[in-house]
Amino acid sequence: MSFEISKEKNEIKENEKSAINIALAGNPNVGKSVIFNQLTGLSQTIGNWPGKTVEKKTGSLDFLGYKFRIVDLPGIYSLSTYTLEEIVSRQYIISDEVDLIINVIDATNLERNLFFTFQLLDLKVPMILAINQMDILRKRHINLNFEKLEEIFKLPVLPVVAVHGKGVHELLEEAIEMVVYKFPHSHYNGTEPENCSHHGHDYYREVHLSDQNNTPNECSREKFEFPDLNELFEYGKEIEYKIKRLQSEIEKHNKQISKFKYPSRFLAIKLLEEDSEIIEIFGKNPDLGYILKNAEKYRNELENMHGEDIHTIISSEIYNKINKIIDEVQEIQPEKERKHDRLTDKLEHITTHSFFGYIILILVILGVYYFTFNFGDFFGGLIDGGFSKLSEYVYNTFGEENIFISVLWDGGVGGFFGAISGVLVYVVPFFLIIEILQDSGYLPRVAFLMDRAMHAIGVHGKSIITMILGFGCNVAGCAGCRIMETEREKRISIALTSLIPCAAVLTVVMGLVGRYLGIGWVLLLFIINFAVILLVGRILNKSMPGSCTELIMEMHEYRRPNFSVILKQTWVRSKEFIFKALPLLVILGISLEIILIFRLLDPINIILSPITVVWLGLPAVTGVFLIYGILRKELTLALLLILADSIGITLLGLLSPIQIFVFSLVTMLYVPCFATIVVIAKQTDWKYALQITLLEITIALLIGGSIYWIYTIFMAI
């Protein structure tokens, strides 16, 4: 990725390239991922942290002759050890892999965000403060004094509007200045500053130096300036005294403790807070046992003195300091009422209203499906019509009974066009609408509205976000369940999200039931689906020990969607289907034609016929299609279309209306795709993934067969 830069800032030569490792850290929903996407573009990899079920996002880019490696850390509120995300983040921050932290802060919620900043400062790692969402702050007629912020924190503090890419490349310029030139208070001008003076704590980091010929020399250790935290912030007299006593005792054992890389002051504070990881570190060494006893003694003394638990005491001290800083740096302009502000306030009020909010939510959901259905039906029809005309020309030219035409045209080309007309035309508009809702800020309002209802099935309103993601893709939805606070809530959310009809299922439903039976039958399918979700949620809520926690999340102000970002994210979501599913569909289309020619479907379908034919009332040929659906749900529809076309009949000639309904219902409810099963196993374990798989297959067959036989008996009467 490249940026437009001035010539004087591009004087670093090619052979002076350095690898700069940056970690993006901050609270959830502050714009970290937006900055990450702006910087790394498509050069991203997503996996898990070693030995953990927490997602790891890394990316790379070249800028000003330097190579950067960016890691987007999980969004967290503190550096405690309550969640895996917090443990992973703080262990990575103090590792040798990190050169610099960019602490992303929401300008509209400084108080909460700066609490995390103070904890990061205790780790004494080079850091830049990126104050994001400045556009929203200005709309509220609030200014920040950035010079004062830099003076207070003794760190670079930069304004950013991540969604529009403003201030993003300045973060990289400042990163080069801090990591390479070791002088965070000056602005980068392409030359190494002279006569650098260092004060405060000494921070040592290995850096690569170059001689006059720009040849890399041996790695040496240089001093890095870091703010003196005692100057920046001291707790109350009694607390500070206890911290310094512990810190002094810890520093007597530097040789034993240094391998853990945490600064002594951070260790002292965490010992007072009964941090599980730090207590375990000290507990393993008999020589440090007395420090643990002293920490417990000091903790009890402070709690008795203040009448509060230690976490409340320390948090109150930090928030008092934060509020003083905010008073110094924040300037509220005289109220200038604007049309935009009135509109935003009214929109906020009506979309979270106890009655109208739900009406709007229902209308939004119906609108999403109506737009997706009409868009897909219109363009799908055009593509089908075009392919039919092309097929007539091909058959007239080469003959309809030609085996090569059957395999290559009907199977290969037919599979390609069938995937586009029957799948892609529904997937793309759905992803587009979801991205608009997410970028505008509507999805957190949905979580707020649904919180009470979600408690009935054992989770809080945040789960609705993972479920809405599940409408796009169950893989993304189940992976997103890591945002849940407890293992219980995560497992319940995963089970429920895996039952959400994803874009692939939507494609099947719209392509079969919507096209041939009408929208009313589509609504009936979704009513059954959501009744199953409610039933499974109630069962899991009753059977799993524990209770649901309360909802805590940010709700940012509504903003105008950035269509550049939306289109990019829509493409990222859609390209997986284009590059992974389309080739697979072509291969399967060709394979199906070969199987049909040599009559190889019969043995598989005979084995499955007691279920497909006897119980579900479907044609025997659908058995193998349901198996293909485990790879990707939309394959069931695409292969049905290919089969109907290959034998010269319409889909209504292949399936009766009740068979279309039952087939679609079973496809909605039975085992999620294989990729989702793998993600569930990674988030929990294989035992739980297999339990969910068996549960959903059982539910699908039970309900699908019951509906078929009830319909058959009713028609007979």
pLDDT tens digits, residue range 578-633? 776 677 667 767 876 787 677 776 787 888 889 989 999 988 878 878 877 776 67
Q: Which residues pair with 399 in a beta bridge?
A: none
Considering the domain architecture, whether residues 398 and 289 belong to the same structural domain is answered as: no
Mean pLDDT of all residues in 373-381: 79
The domain boundary, picked from 170, 204, 231, lies at 231
DSSP characters over 101-117: EEEEEEGGGHHHHHHHH
**What is the pLDDT of the chain when averaged over all its residues?**
77
Query: Is the model's pLDDT at 553 over the cut of 50?
Result: yes
Considering the domain architecture, whether residues 54 and 152 belong to the same structural domain is answered as: yes
Considering the domain architecture, whether residues 390 and 307 belong to the same structural domain is answered as: no
- Angle at which helix 289-306 crosses helix 264-272, to 10 degrees, equals 60
The domain boundary, picked from 274, 300, 332, lies at 332
The confidence score (pLDDT) of residue 16 equals 35
700 sits in which H/E element? helix 686-716
Considering the domain architecture, whether residues 131 and 70 belong to the same structural domain is answered as: yes
Query: Is the model's pLDDT at 71 over the cut of 60?
Result: yes
Mean pLDDT of all residues in 280-306: 87
pTM score, two decimals?
Answer: 0.59
Considering the domain architecture, whether residues 202 and 324 belong to the same structural domain is answered as: no
| Domain assignment present for 80 | yes
| Domain assignment present for 250 | yes
Residues in Cβ contact with 37 at an 8 Å cutoff, skipping those fewer than 6 apart: 44, 565, 568, 569
| Domain assignment present for 347 | no
Please give the tally of structural domains in the chain.
3
Considering the domain architecture, whether residues 252 and 225 belong to the same structural domain is answered as: no
- pLDDT for 707-717, tens place per residue? 999 999 988 87
| Domain assignment present for 676 | yes
Considering the domain architecture, whether residues 477 and 593 belong to the same structural domain is answered as: yes
Considering the domain architecture, whether residues 704 and 568 belong to the same structural domain is answered as: yes
Answer whether 241's CB lies under 8 Å from 224's CB: no
Q: Which residues pair with 71 in a beta bridge?
A: 23, 58
Considering the domain architecture, whether residues 701 and 639 belong to the same structural domain is answered as: yes
| Domain assignment present for 521 | yes
Q: Which residues pair with 57 in a beta bridge?
A: 46, 72
Cα–Cα dist 354/147, whole Å: 43
Considering the domain architecture, whether residues 291 and 181 belong to the same structural domain is answered as: no
- pLDDT for 395-411, tens place per residue? 888 877 778 787 888 77
673 or 4, greater pLDDT: 673
| Domain assignment present for 603 | yes
Q: Which of 386-400, 571-585, 628-642, 668-682 has the lowest mean pLDDT?
A: 571-585
Mean pLDDT of all residues in 149-168: 88
With vertex at residue 462, the alpha carbon angle to CA 456 and CA 466, rounded to the nearest 5 degrees, is: 105
**Residue 33's CATH number:** 3.40.50.300
Considering the domain architecture, whether residues 360 and 303 belong to the same structural domain is answered as: no
What is each CA distance from 342 to 337, 338, 582, in whole angstroms?
A: 8, 6, 47
Mean pLDDT of all residues in 193-210: 32
Mean pLDDT of all residues in 259-280: 86
| Domain assignment present for 105 | yes
Question: In terms of residue numbers, what domain contains 99?
Answer: 7-231
**Residue 282's CATH number:** 1.10.287.1770
What is each CA distance from 666 to 21, 65, 520, 528, 672, in whole angstroms?
A: 48, 55, 18, 11, 11
Report the share of the chain in percent with pLDDT over 70.
Answer: 79
| Domain assignment present for 168 | yes
Strand order in the sheet with 44-48: 44-48, 55-63, 66-72, 19-25, 100-106, 127-132, 157-159
Considering the domain architecture, whether residues 137 and 215 belong to the same structural domain is answered as: yes
The confidence score (pLDDT) of residue 483 equals 63
